[in-house]
């Protein structure tokens, strides 16, 4: 029993050390403090990604700045596993946001006009409606999709599996496909 416990902790120790080293490197690379990054996190075009202090990024997240797209992640933000943030213009996530698992936050989509239907989807031009902004203290449940041109005010809660296609004011609860206000928060 003691040997098994020792072996268990002994095998975990190298992984713990590697995770600590990886987090130190990311903190230096992004010039931030308190950044914790899970396994298999992918960044593209990091010069356009600003990550503030005390941010947690879960396993298998994909933070994708395409061309000159800007991504700003505020202080005290938590991104759960499998979150994808994509930007070709600008995505801003305010301070204190909590992002559930399997969430998509984007400022663009692939166009699908009659003129582009003959082009394979991957090669179609990207369409932008404007920047995507999450105000401070926004909470996105699991599997939420926040699409191009959306601004969510402060203290907005979005229920799991919702698709947010338009902007909403502060202090509301959203749910549905497409998302709509189901409650006002006092």
Asked whether residue 136 is domain-assigned, the answer is yes
* 162 lies in some domain: yes
What is the pLDDT at residue 149?
A: 95
Residue with tokens 């503030």: 52
User: Which DSSP helix (H) or strand (E) runs through 70?
Assistant: strand 70-73
Whether 67 is covered by a domain: the verdict is yes
Question: Taking a C-beta distance cutoff of 8 angstroms, is the pair 104, 124 a contact?
Answer: no
d(C-alpha 113, C-alpha 77), whole Å: 36
Q: Is residue 24 part of a domain?
A: no
Asked if residue 20 is part of any domain, the answer here is no
pLDDT at 120: 79
pLDDT in tens, 36-90: 999 899 999 889 999 999 999 999 999 999 989 999 999 999 999 999 999 999 9
Q: Which domain holds residue 75?
A: 34-184
Residue-wise pLDDT for 87-116, tens only, equals: 999 999 999 999 999 999 999 987 776 676
pLDDT in tens, 19-36: 777 778 777 878 889 999
Residue 10 has pLDDT above 60, yes or no: no
Distance from C-alpha of 152 to C-alpha of 169, rounded to nearest angstrom: 6
Preceding amide of 178 cis, omega within 30: yes
Predicted confidence at residue 137, as pLDDT, reads 98
Say whether 108 is catalytic: no
**Full DSSP string of 24-45:** HHHHHHTT-SS-EE-TT-EEES
8 within domain boundaries: no
Per the domain annotation, does 21 fall within a domain?
Answer: no
What pairs with residue 51 in β-bridges?
73
**Which run of H or of E encompasses 11?**
helix 2-29
CB 145 within 8 A of CB 179: no
The answer to whether position 108 is within a domain reads: yes
CATH number at residue 143: 2.160.10.10
CB 108 within 8 A of CB 87: yes
Domain count along the chain = 1
User: Does pLDDT of 9 surpass 60?
Assistant: no
> What integer pLDDT is reported at residue 98 of this predicted model?
98
Residue 107 confidence (pLDDT) = 95
Q: What is the pTM of this model?
A: 0.86
10 versus 98: which is more confidently predicted? 98
Residue 182 reports pLDDT greater than 80:
yes
**Nearest in space to 55 (alpha carbons), one of 33, 87, 39, 88:** 33
Q: Which residues contact 154 (CB under 8 A, 6 or more apart)?
A: 94, 135, 136, 137, 138, 170, 171
Q: Give the model confidence (pLDDT) of 119-173 as tens digits.
A: 777 777 788 889 999 999 999 999 999 999 999 999 999 999 999 999 999 999 9
Active-site annotation holder among 84, 108, 110, 118: 110
């Amino acid at each position: 029993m003691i040997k098994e416990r020792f072996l268990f902790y002994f095998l975990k120790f190298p992984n713990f050390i590697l995770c600590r080293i990886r987090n130190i490197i990311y903190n230096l690379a992004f010039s931030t403090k308190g950044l914790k990054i899970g396994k298999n996190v992918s960044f593209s075009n990091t010069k356009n990604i600003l990550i503030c202090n005390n941010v947690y990024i879960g396993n298998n997240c994909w933070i994708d700045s395409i061309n000159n797209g800007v991504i700003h992640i505020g202080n005290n933000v938590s991104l759960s596993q499998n979150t994808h943030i994509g930007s070709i213009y600008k995505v801003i996530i305010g301070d204190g946001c909590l992002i559930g698992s399997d969430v998509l936050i984007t400022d663009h989509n692939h166009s699908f006009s009659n003129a582009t239907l003959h082009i394979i989807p991957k090669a179609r031009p990207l369409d932008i409606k404007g920047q995507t902004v999450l105000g401070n203290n926004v909470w996105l449940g699991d599997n939420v999709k926040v699409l191009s041109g959306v601004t969510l005010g402060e203290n907005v809660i979005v229920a799991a599996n919702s698709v947010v296609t338009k902007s909403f004011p502060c202090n509301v609860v959203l749910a549905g496909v497409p998302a709509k206000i189901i409650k006002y928060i006092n």
